[in-house]
Structure 1
Amino acid sequence: MATEEQARRLVDVLATELTSRSGDVLRHDRYYRGKHPLRFASDEFRKYCADRYEGFSDNWVQPVADSPVERLTVTGVQAPGEVKADAELWGVWQRNALDADSQLGFLGAGNAARCFVLVWGNPDDEENPVVTFEDASTAVVQYEPGSRRRRRAAMKMWQDGFSEFATLYLPTEVWKFERPLSAGEKKSPQMAEADAVMASWTPRETGAEPNPQPNPMGVVPMVELPNRPLLASEPVSDVSGVIAMQDAINLLWAMLFTNADYASLTQRIVTGAEVPKVPVLDSTGQKVGERPIDLKKFVTDRILWLENPDAKVDSWPAAQLTAYTEVIEVCVGHIAAQTRTPQHYLVGKMANLSGDALIAAETGLVKRAEEKQLWFGQALREVFQLICLARGEDDKAKAVAGGTVLWKDPQSRNLAQLTDSLLKLKQIGFPFEWLALRFGLTPPEVATLMEMRAREAEFDPVAAIMGGGTVEKPPPPGPDPADEGVP
């Protein structure tokens, strides 16, 4: 068991790690929301156009981040040796609204390179632990040296009012701390040091609940879901590689708009003539001078009168803005290739593509979703194991640890093609229940469907047989006693 000083020092270290990560997490979140700082190619362009295009963005980060998440749907968990998904664990998943919140977690992991899942017992309902997805800006996990899976500690940190709170999860106990937030005022070094001392972590007042609180689960109850993990470095965000090209696209649009403002119309040029002038008269009507005519009047009246016989009128052609749009399309194509996002997700152009062509175009996205299923599924298997531990089911937790997380098929298929393929699989012997899962139904829906088929078979067994169902057959009759001894 850790001492209070050891727990406080560990909270300081983990809080520093969270602070170091928060810069990239917040930056990626802003880019996902379309809040992009406009980058400029020159100081002159910044000087004259910075205010004009402030807040503008052509957001390609969002579809890149959203495209794999829409194909990530958990449908259950199945222990090894079992033929059906675990209904009790799926009930806990549903009662915690994780069918919806898991989508938020997967999106957060794609943007911030990781997200976390926290499991803790529910004193009001011991059968249904509390399971929550946590953002990378508020949670962190510490691993044992040399391991990417064995967790030593975890922490969740958040702000409320003028205080900052931290909960430290260890295998044997849970510590709760708090500290006041710094006001950020300029103070002398001595007063700043005094504030730092006062702002150190102190045990939180928890009333009748002990602090530290024992951890009955015996393991760190928080799991990290890494996005695109690497062997020797941090996981990689889906949007980190898109930001540079996103900045280039925004700059090209700003240049296009500027060019459209100044040079999108044909420009007229007058040579060989002075600016037309009008006489200036005094109160008696006598000419006392001349003044140039305001050229804006010619623009408004769309007329120009020239008396100089040497005057000539010429024109500059309008600017060709397609030069910018063609480069922008190339940039978007680079984003599609680098992130394995189908071009029709980004450009929106489809020209009589066949079903096979669409499947080929989405192959990269499907593989990307399957990779996420692999890594997220490994972490979610640990989450289901923690749920079992929180319910006091140690034997079931060991079984689930070697189980399988079930996902909806990430590949989108035409309904006619899908049913045709399932029918052919049925003809070579695949069971109906397996086919229903491949069709996209969740395990609870499949169980309901099987009950419906059983009821239909009871009322009309012939129709059930003709429809490809199965009917319980009576046992074959025994041998006739009169035939005994007959070869």
Structure 2
Amino acid sequence: MTDQAPEDLLALMNDDTKAALFAMQRLASELQLRQDRIQTRMNYVRGRQPIAYASEEFQRYMGDRFQGFADNWCLPIVQTPAERMDVQGIRLDANDLRPDREMSRVWRTNNCERGSAEAFVVGLAASRAFALVWGDEEDDDTPVITWERPEQAIVSYRPDTGRPVAGLKLWRDEDAGYEYATLYQADRVWKWQRRGVQLAAMHEPRPAVDPTGGWEPRLGADDVWPISNPMGMVPLVELRNQTLLDDAPMSDIDGVIAMQDAINLIWAYLFNALDYASLPQRVLTGAEVPRIPILSADGKVIGERPVDLNQLIKDRILWVPGDNVTATEWSAARLDVFSQVIERAIEHIAAQTRTPPHYLIGKVANLSAEALTAAETGLVSKTKERVVYFTPSIRRIFALTAAAQGNPERAKAALSGRVVWADVQFRSLAQKVDALHKMHSMGFPTEWVAEEYGMEPHEVARVMEMREREMAMDPVGALADQLERTHQPEPAEEEPAPPEGEE
């Protein structure tokens, strides 16, 4: 930190520092513009959904009553495909299609099974998520992989090639009263900080025009600034959802939010109807509004006042003054119409998001395995699309892992490697085993069958070692099994049909 004026501090900066400062400020401004959209989407995923589309009268009388209630369908919409997206490794060698064991080890060490699962949910909901790869000072062989929130990270790209040129992580420490920013470039890392609003108010006001934005260098324990980036790549990776050939990834719940608001409003109307109209209502006409006596301190009647009409409304009583008193009853309101509209709205959400209806409606039907598979075709196709969108980012994470280990050749191979994903289609165990058994009989190797079954790379290696031990213990049985699979009986030739008129 320094006590110099911002103009003097800017004058002491060289051209590279000025360029880094302005790049950081530009990215911070762009990130600020994203905050509202990100916050709105994440609030809907968490179930923090305000009542919308209500009339002014309903909002005035009943709006506060239903605050905090939400029939949240946004969360399952993003959870359903995300739970099928499971990264199992990456294949680096074209001649050896087994997932790389070292990459898988680093992935598991960083608990990326859970981290990536959470990032996929956030990426589908907020349209993007981020991952940061950096070396570990305590273990040179195991880089650190962290998963970052979209409201705290941003990556800029070259407009001509689409390659990343810089990444920014921006966050606030309320306790310390500081904002922190770290700008990641391919060759250097710039760390900045500035006083937060509350802390700045306790000091002398800053100049009206501050070219530095209040940012100053944030030095580490070794007082080295900026820090060199030994990886030669921007270590911040953006996991982007679907785009339309532009720089605006879409959220899977953008089309759901409006219907979600409608469902919540219908529920509010239903609750209100349950409270006011579910029982028969009575009306008295031709009678005077009852009056309440006013008593003195010693209990004597000194006057009277009419009953509060608002209290009568709350007590479900309607008085119509006049002659010829009569009593009338209204029948209870029908409430099934509300539930029918809600079910129809949920069906629309299922169709729009390609989510199987039985995932949302909750009705269990006696369907065959083939019928359930057909019902999930749209979800499987959608999940495969999302896998395509996120695969380049997963490749880059593995490439940064190799670069952080000081192995540029493996990093280059990872950029063109094949990411191994678990099967996105859920099948019954009988269906899966039957299909894999038939493919094994056709000649597919056991290792491939184990991978298709869904085993992780280290489990496949363990199974193959166990199989080798079994074959060594029973070579005759292993040979017979191999002959049975490779030598299939030829189909019998059909006898020619006899000429017409002969039997």
* TM-score, structure 2 normalization: 0.82
For residues 226-375 of structure 1, what are the structure 2 equivalents within 5 Å?
226-269=240-283, 313-375=327-389
| Aligned equivalent of 1:64, options 67, 72, 77 | 77
Aligned residue number for residue 11 of structure 2: none
Give the residue type in structure 1 aligned to 2:128.
R
Deviation at 1:343, TM superposition (A): 1.0
Counterparts in 2 of 1:84 and 1:357: CA distance versus 1, 3 Å? same
Unaligned runs of 5+ in 2: 1-13, 294-302, 310-323, 486-503
| Aligned equivalent of 2:179, options 150, 164, 169 | 164
Distance 1:198 1:396 in 2: 40
Work out whether 1:460 is the aligned partner of 2:474: yes
Query: Does the 8 Å CA contact 2:284/2:325 hold for their aligned counterparts?
Result: yes
**Count of matched residue positions in the alignment of Structure 1 and Structure 2:** 450
Counterparts in 2 of 1:459 and 1:265: CA distance versus 1, 3 Å? same
Distance 1:468 1:269 in 2: 88
Deviation at 1:410, TM superposition (A): 0.6
Aligned residue number for residue 42 of structure 1: 55
Work out whether 1:93 is the aligned partner of 2:107: yes
Aligned residue number for residue 219 of structure 1: 233
Distance 1:246 1:291 in 2: 47
Distance 1:195 1:317 in 2: 70
Please give the per-residue CA displacement for 1:350-375, whole angstroms capped at 9, x wherever unaligned: 21111111111111111111111112
Distance 1:105 1:228 in 2: 15
Counterparts in 2 of 1:205 and 1:379: CA distance versus 1, 3 Å? same
Distance 2:255 2:263 in 1: 14
Counterparts in 2 of 1:192 and 1:214: CA distance versus 1, 3 Å? closer
Work out whether 1:20 is the aligned partner of 2:20: no
Query: Does the 8 Å CA contact 1:180/1:199 hold for their aligned counterparts?
Result: no
Aligned residue number for residue 127 of structure 2: 113
Counterparts in 2 of 1:179 and 1:84: CA distance versus 1, 3 Å? same
Distance 2:308 2:39 in 1: 52
Distance 1:336 1:8 in 2: 47
Deviation at 1:392, TM superposition (A): 1.3
SS of 2:193's equivalent in the other structure is: strand
Distance 1:2 1:407 in 2: 45
Deviation at 1:313, TM superposition (A): 5.0
* Regions of 4+ moved over 3 Å: 184-187, 190-199, 268-279, 289-295, 310-314, 462-471
Work out whether 1:402 is the aligned partner of 2:383: no
Please give the per-residue CA displacement for 1:295-335, whole angstroms capped at 9, x wherever unaligned: 9xxxxxxxxxxxxxx87654321101111111111111111
Counterparts in 2 of 1:291 and 1:133: CA distance versus 1, 3 Å? closer
Aligned residue number for residue 435 of structure 1: 449
Please give the per-residue CA displacement for 1:369-404, whole angstroms capped at 9, x wherever unaligned: 111111211111111111111111112222222210
Give the residue type in structure 2 aligned to 1:68.
P
| Aligned equivalent of 2:161, options 130, 143, 147 | 147
Deviation at 1:294, TM superposition (A): 12
Percentage of identical aligned residues: 44
Give the residue type in structure 2 aligned to 1:351.
A
Query: Does the 8 Å CA contact 1:259/1:319 hold for their aligned counterparts?
Result: yes
Work out whether 1:130 is the aligned partner of 2:147: no
Give the residue type in structure 2 aligned to 1:126.
D
For residues 415-430 of structure 1, what are the structure 2 equivalents within 5 Å?
415-430=429-444
SS of 1:350's equivalent in the other structure is: coil
| Aligned equivalent of 1:181, options 174, 192, 196 | 196
* TM-score, structure 1 normalization: 0.85
SS of 2:260's equivalent in the other structure is: helix
Distance 2:142 2:241 in 1: 28
SS of 1:126's equivalent in the other structure is: strand
Distance 1:444 1:291 in 2: 84
Please give the per-residue CA displacement for 1:256-311, whole angstroms capped at 9, x wherever unaligned: 111111111122345677789999xxxxxxxxx9999999xxxxxxxxxxxxxx87
